[in-house]
Amino acid sequence: MLEVRDVVVKFGGFRAVDGVSLAVAAGSIVGIAGTNGAGKTTLFGVMAGQIAAASGSVVFEGRDMTRLPPFRRARAGLARTFQVPREFGRLSVLDNLRAAAPNDAHETLLGAWLGRAGAAKADARLADQADEILALVGLQAVRDLPGAALSGGQKKLLELGRALMGTPRCILLDEPFAGVNPVLIGQLLEVLRAIHARGIALVVIEHHLQALKALASRLVVMDQGRVIADGAPDAVLTDERVQAAYMGGVV
């Protein structure tokens, strides 16, 4: 489904990503781990279109995405969340999701031509879709609260819900468990499993290795801009190169 081919990213003379290739199968869950500065987030930026690679390519469902901007990739079915959520603080949780929907009837020439009646029907469908997603991510009880009123963990769920409004087939998740309390980590794991059960592929960057091991069936570890291990989590976490990268066994 998603292929990264020989990607190189340079910042001056420093290679943040150094010839990385990675393939993600449809409907899979792949975890990407590594210490700070390993190149994980930079690689995500290339996948999602926020960072331009010096060389290499990104292919999604057979289509070359290398030169496409982030919104074009999102519309093609490749969504991304960020480590620090960026909610619309003054909008309700429901309206945060509605704002994330692509091709809102109010914003198109067709919507203007259909007039108020057509826009009202589109609004109703959008609200139904948002409510379904709020139920999936466990935020129905706070649907009418402003986004700024949510806890850090709830904001992570909100950002995930907004990504789902675009009906993605693959979601790139940047440290979804960072700053989340242990109780909510369990809830977030269940939400991600439920999303995966819908056939959506997940690629997850995470420092919380136990949570990542509980979620992903495949683990990729990066160090100094390169992939040093790729396989089943138990095998990868006992790999000597991974142990060395994590300072002699702190995994």
Please write the tens of the pLDDT for every residue from 64-95.
999 999 999 999 999 999 989 889 999 999 99
Task: Give, as one character, the DSSP assignment of residue 186.
Answer: H
Domain-located, residue 251: no
Q: Which residue range forms the structural domain that includes residue 141?
A: 90-149
**Confidence (pLDDT) at 52:** 96
Residue 136 sits in the same domain as residue 160: no
Backbone angles phi, psi at 28, to 5 degrees: -100, 170
Residue 162 sits in the same domain as residue 186: yes
For 37, what's the count of Cα atoms within 13 Å in the CB-facing half-sphere?
A: 6
**What's the pTM value of the predicted model, to 2 decimals?**
0.89
Residue 9 sits in the same domain as residue 76: yes
**Token pair recorded at residue 136:** 């999936």
- Domain count along the chain: 2
> 133, 149, 165: which is the final residue of a domain?
149
Please list the ranges in the chain whose pLDDT falls under 50. Answer: 249-251
Residue 192 sits in the same domain as residue 233: yes
Question: How confident is the prediction for the chain on average, in pLDDT?
Answer: 90
